[in-house]
Amino acid sequence: MDEQSVTNLLREKGFKVTPQRLAIYDVLAKTKEHPSAEMIFNQLQEYYPTMSLATVYKTIEILKEIGLVQVLNVGEDSFRYDAIVENHPHIRCMVCKRVDDVEEVDSSDFIEKIKEKTAYQLTGQQFYFYGICPKCMVKH
Amino acid sequence: MDEQSVTNLLREKGFKVTPQRLAIYDVLAKTKEHPSAEMIFNQLQEYYPTMSLATVYKTIEILKEIGLVQVLNVGEDSFRYDAIVENHPHIRCMVCKRVDDVEEVDSSDFIEKIKEKTAYQLTGQQFYFYGICPKCMVKH
DNA sequence: CTCATTGCAAAGGTTTTGCATGACC
DNA sequence: GGTCATGCAAAACCTTTGCAATGAG
């Protein structure tokens, strides 16, 4: 999503548009590494030396609320965030801890199966895979 | 797994067998609610008033290590634990926060698809579903 | 008897909150 | 100008660690 659309969406939902909010979304939109709040904070330090971690958390809360980011729980102590809000599987390297997307996988059949088996009314899902990434395999 | 087997496994792996350890495993083995450390702690308070949360955490660490429990990450701030170590999907009610198993689902086809699409060497996975449980649907 | 385990309290890490200052509209 | 957002510091959580006292083998 481009900056203008983010600006519009924030306004539309009653939130003010600030450089911090745009910068935080920008970091998320331009990376594939699924950063944690602290990773976002560190990345912004150079250009926004006064940025505080609290602002990162507060902004993510808003971005989540208006559907611009999704939250990941890959089994670490902290959460990670993804500006690609379409649901897709993630995979984490047990060695270097990187988190990647698994692309081009159609999970609708699997989700259908679950719908048949559960008495819940489904609203969403997250698929996490664990393994060793290509780079780490080479090293061992 | 019965108490005798747990005793044997602990000894075999070089850990001492204590009432606390057996009690913690027992709580996990007898419930389907995927308790957090604090839920286990609270449940034990009545019968083991001196039990400390630290012991719960230390014991879970050991149980995890010897393959008697698996750790769940359902998107809460805390971890949950499951004495059923065979991999199976979990589902969480967004209203009452309960976590249930999804039973009788074969996910091997889906996992195969992922293996084909990722360059990682797969070692495991977790499937989390979100929705509204039957009880909460009735209430609304 | 020895050494691992327990349980307390303190520390560590992540996330949230309160509040005065500052910025947007 | 009024109100919301920022950023600091403190608080609130969850989890881990250190250590003296205790208990298992």
**CATH number, position B65:** 1.10.10.10
Give the pair of three-digit tokens for residue A106.
């159609």
Give the pair of three-digit tokens for residue A124.
């969403």
Kindly report the average pLDDT of chain A as a whole number. 95
Decide if B122 and A107 are in contact by the 8 Å CB cutoff. no
Number of domains in chain A: 2
| Bridge partners, A131 (sequence order) | A93, B122
Q: Is residue A4 scored above 80 in pLDDT? A: yes
Q: Which domain holds residue B18?
A: 1-85
- How far is the C-alpha of A25 from the C-alpha of A27, rounded, in Å? 5
What's the whole-model pTM score? 0.94
Same domain, B9 and B47: yes
Which strand D nucleotides have any atom less than 7 A from protein CB atoms? 4-10, 13-18, 23-25
| Amino acid present at A59 | T
Same domain, A123 and A58: no
Decide if B120 and A131 are in contact by the 8 Å CB cutoff. yes
Are the C-beta atoms of residues B25 and B83 closer than 8 Å to each other?
A: yes
Q: Is residue A6 scored above 80 in pLDDT? A: yes
Same domain, B8 and B37: yes
Looking at B65, B85, B105, the residue that finishes a domain is B85
Same domain, A34 and A66: yes
- How far is the C-alpha of B66 from the C-alpha of A5, rounded, in Å? 51
pLDDT score for B22: 98
Query: To the nearest whole percent, how much of chain A has pLDDT over 70?
Result: 100
Give the pair of three-digit tokens for residue A27.
């970091």
Closest partner residue to B123 (CB to CB) among A117, A119, A132 is A132
pLDDT score for B51: 96
Distances in Å between the Cα of A83 and the Cα atoms of A31, A35, A105, A114, B127 are 9, 10, 18, 26, 21
Is A133 labelled a binding residue?
yes
Residues of B in contact with A136 (CB under 8 A): none
Q: Whose CA is nearest the C1' atom of nucleotide C16?
A: A54
Closest partner residue to B131 (CB to CB) among A122, A128, A130 is A122
Type and span of the H or E element at B127: strand B121-132
pLDDT score for A40: 97
Decide if A129 and B120 are in contact by the 8 Å CB cutoff. yes
CA atoms within 13 A on the CB side of A55: 18
| Bridge partners, B127 (sequence order) | A127
pLDDT, tens only, A13-54: 999 999 999 999 999 999 999 999 999 999 999 999 999 999
Write out residues in chain B with pLDDT < 50, as ranges.
none
Same domain, B80 and B134: no
Question: Nearest to residue B107, comparing CAs of B119, B115, B99, B117?
Answer: B115
Give the pair of three-digit tokens for residue B51.
């039990």
